[in-house]
Copies of this chain bind each other. A is one copy, B any other.
Amino acid sequence: MSASPAPRPHTAVIGLGAMGLPMARRLAAHLPLSVYDIAPARRALLASAGGTDAASPAEAARDADVVLLAVRDQSQVDGALFGENGAAETLRPGSTVILTSTVGPEAARATAERLAENGILTVDAPVSGGPVRAGDGDLLIVVGAEDKALDLARPVLDLLASTLTIVGPRPGDGQALKAINQLLAGVHIAAAAEAIALARGLGLAPGTVVESLRHGAAGSFMFGDRGPRMVETYESDVAPEVKSRLDIFVKDMGIVTGIAKDAHVPVPLASAAQQLYLLGERAGLAAHDDSSVVTVLSPKSTPAQNGEDR
C-alpha cells in the first residue's frame, strides 16, 4: 500500500537555527538539498556544505520531495508554510512535510489538516538530543504519521535519527509523547536546581551533593547532566557553555501546561517549573544555558551559608 520512497529525495530544510543548521549539514552530504532561513547569514553557512541557498520557503520547496521544518514555534511554522512566499505555494501534491519543532499535538494536527487540503502529507516528528547529536545523525525522533507519509520521509529521518519511535498514525501523536518527555525533563532540571540551591543554603558543597546522589534513588538524567553545570555556575567565573537555551523550556512548559489544561489533568509540578523558567527569562537568562535557572533560586552572589568546605 505504501509508495516506494525515492532513495535520495530532493529535500528542503527551512530554519537553520541551533538544530536546523547541523541537520541540514548532515543531509547536504547525502541528498540534493535546498535551504532557507530568514537570516541570509545563516543560509551562507550552508553553501560550503553543498546546500542550495533559496530566497524564500516557496523557492526552497519548489523542487522538493520532502520539506523539513526546523523552526522555533508554531507561528514560524505557519509563516514558513502558509505565509507570503510560503512553502505551500510551490509544494506538489504527494510531497511530504516533516515537522521537527515542538509545537504541541493540536498545532501539529491543524498543520497537517491544512496541508492535506493541497494533497501534501505530514510527518509529525519532534526531535530531541541537541545540536551535536543532530550533526551526528544521533537524534531521538518520536513520530506520528501514517505509513505512506513515513515511507516518503524515511530516507531523511534515517539520516538524522539513531532512535525513531513510531508513536501512532496521526500527526500530533509524536507531539504528545514529546510533550511528556519535556514535562519530565523540565521538571527534573528545576528539581536539580532546587536541590543545589538548598544544598548551598544548608552549607553543603553542591558538587559533593551531586556526586553523592546522582547514582542513587535521587538520580535523574538531568541531575547528572545539568547538576554539574549548575555547580560550575557557582565555582567558575565563566558562565557554562549554552547547550540548550533556557527559553526553550519557557515555550515547552507552556505547551505542557496548555495541553494538560485542555485534557483536564492537573500538573502542579510542571506548572511550578514553568513559573521558574519564566522567572529565569525575566532575570535576563532567556539565551543562557537552561542550567542557569538555579540562579533564580540561589543567586551567584549569595555565599553558601557555612562556607564551601564541608
Contact = CB atoms under 8 A, between A and B. Distances in A.
15 contacts: A167-B204, A177-B212, A180-B199, A181-B213, A184-B195, A187-B187, A187-B194, A188-B218, A194-B265, A200-B265, A202-B259, A216-B221, A217-B221, A217-B222, A263-B305
A219 to B, nearest CB: 5
A134 interface: no
Interface of A: 105, 128-129, 140, 142, 165, 167-168, 173, 176-177, 179-185, 187-188, 190-192, 194-195, 197-204, 208-209, 212-213, 216-223, 225, 256, 259-260, 263-273, 275-276, 297-298, 305, 310
A180 B195 contact: yes
Copies of this chain assembled into the complex: 2
Of residues A176, A179, A223, which shows the largest number of chain B Cβ atoms within 10 Å of its Cβ?
A: A176
A269 to B, nearest CB: 5
A212 B142 contact: yes
Contact of A201 (B197, B212, B260): B260
Contacts of A266: 194, 197, 297
A128 B297 CA distance: 27
A275 B260 CA distance: 18
Contacts of A128: 216-217
Nearest to A270: B194
Contact of A184 (B167, B177, B191, B276): B191
A34 B223 CA distance: 42
Of residues A208, A263, A273, which shows the largest number of chain B Cβ atoms within 10 Å of its Cβ?
A: A263
Contacts of A201: 260, 263-265
